[in-house]
């Protein structure tokens, strides 16, 4: 199954991607995680991407699309994938269609996580991410049992630079101007489903799996 998760920053894409990908037995591919791994190890891609990420802007399409094309053509994606954070504009949506058509496949479903802006700001201000396994936590809504330590792997938790207040507001603007048009695009293709992404994480997962069920094959 080939699935895309879409929603504003902080909607819970990464949180839900972990469970949904496991349920579908497909790899979870987060462009944000790939960029952050490159930033941490100081690769040329990371050095280039960081300038945009710190400002809350999108990394240029060419760089992002080449990276995703390479990743989706790897062996573990042959039977499907779950994309978190790509596509983020119409150009990238067309690139994804080309990649999938190129391997004789199609995109099955796009799942939109719907939350309002106030909730996004509350979620991002308390988000903590594991340096080692990328698991996301929240200081109030989903705290780890030991402060600063990831329950999943024992790694160190950190606050992303782009989760600071000013950058969050800019990222929301970028979502509404650049990314939200892809929602209409996928609705026109008849492969969009939206769910209410507020409430406890487990309830959102149940809604996500129920929404995907009709598309499973
Ligand atoms: P995204 O990948 O869409 O940017 P994340 O999955 O990283 O969003 O979630 C953003 C923050 O919100 C994280 O700190 C996460 O723990 C928290 N979060 C995720 N889902 C929920 C939920 N249903 N209720 C409360 N907080 C949540
Ligand atoms: P995320 O982890 O999805 O919130 O992404 C963090 C940052 O990485 C974004 O604010 C962008 O700077 C960059 N990024 C992630 N995915 C993309 C994408 N598909 N296109 C362009 N930039 C991206």
* Å from CA of 10 to ligand 1 middle: 5
Q: Output the pLDDT for position 191.
A: 97
Tokens of 106: 């199609």
pTM score: 0.96
User: 2-115+175-215: what CATH class?
Assistant: alpha beta
Q: For atom 5 of ligand 2, which residue has the closest CA?
A: 32
Contacts of 22 (CB under 8 A, 6+ apart): none
Cβ–ligand 2 contact at 17 (below 6 Å): no
Residue-by-residue pLDDT tens, the chain, 217 positions: 999 999 999 999 999 999 999 999 999 999 999 999 999 999 999 999 999 999 999 999 999 999 999 999 999 999 999 999 999 999 999 999 999 999 999 999 999 999 999 999 999 999 999 999 989 999 999 999 999 999 999 999 999 999 998 899 999 999 999 999 999 999 999 999 999 999 999 999 999 999 999 999 7
Q: For atom 9 of ligand 2, which residue has the closest CA?
A: 53
Q: Output the pLDDT for position 166.
A: 87
* Å from CA of 113 to ligand 1 middle: 11
3-state secondary structure of 100: helix
Which residues' Cβ are closer than 6 Å to ligand 1? 7, 9-15, 123, 126-127, 136-138, 141-142, 199, 201, 204
Which phi and psi angles does 78 have, rounded to 5°? Answer: -60, -35
Cβ–ligand 2 contact at 31 (below 6 Å): yes
Cα–Cα dist 9/124, whole Å:
8
Mutating to test ligand 1, I would choose from 7, 138, 171, 205 the residue with most ligand atoms within 8 A of its C-beta, which is 138
Q: For atom 12 of ligand 1, which residue has the closest CA?
A: 123
Q: Output the pLDDT for position 217.
A: 79
Count the alpha carbons within 13 Å of 210 in the hemisphere toward its beta carbon: 9
User: ∠189-195-199 over CA atoms, to 5°?
Assistant: 165
Cα–Cα dist 153/53, whole Å:
26
* Å from CA of 156 to ligand 1 middle: 18
The catalytic residue positions are: 13, 88, 127, 160, 171
Integer angstrom CA distances of residue 176 from 8, 101, 171, 208: 8, 28, 9, 22
- Domain boundaries, given as residue ranges, for the chain: 2-115+175-215
């Amino acid at each position: 199954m080939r699935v895309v998760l879409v929603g504003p920053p902080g909607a819970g894409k990464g949180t839900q991607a972990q469970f949904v990908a496991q349920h579908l037995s497909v790899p979870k591919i987060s462009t944000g995680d790939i960029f952050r791994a490159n930033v941490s190890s100081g690769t040329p891609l990371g050095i280039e991407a960081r300038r945009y990420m710190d400002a809350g802007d999108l990394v240029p399409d060419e760089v992002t699309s080449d990276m995703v094309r390479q990743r989706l053509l790897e062996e573990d994606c042959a039977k499907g994938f779950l994309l978190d954070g790509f596509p983020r504009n119409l150009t990238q949506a067309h690139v994804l269609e080309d990649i999938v058509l190129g391997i004789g496949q199609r995109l099955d479903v796009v799942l939109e996580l719907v939350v309002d802006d106030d909730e996004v700001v509350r979620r991002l201000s308390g988000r903590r991410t594991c340096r080692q396994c990328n698991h996301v936590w929240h200081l109030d809504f989903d705290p780890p049992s030991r402060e600063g330590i990831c329950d999943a792997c024992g790694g160190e938790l950190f606050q992303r630079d782009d989760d600071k207040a000013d950058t969050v507001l800019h990222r929301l603007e970028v979502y509404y101007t650049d990314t939200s048009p892809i929602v209409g695009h996928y609705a026109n293709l008849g492969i969009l489903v939206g769910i209410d992404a507020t409430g406890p994480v487990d309830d959102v997962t149940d809604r996500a799996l129920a929404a995907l069920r009709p598309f499973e094959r």
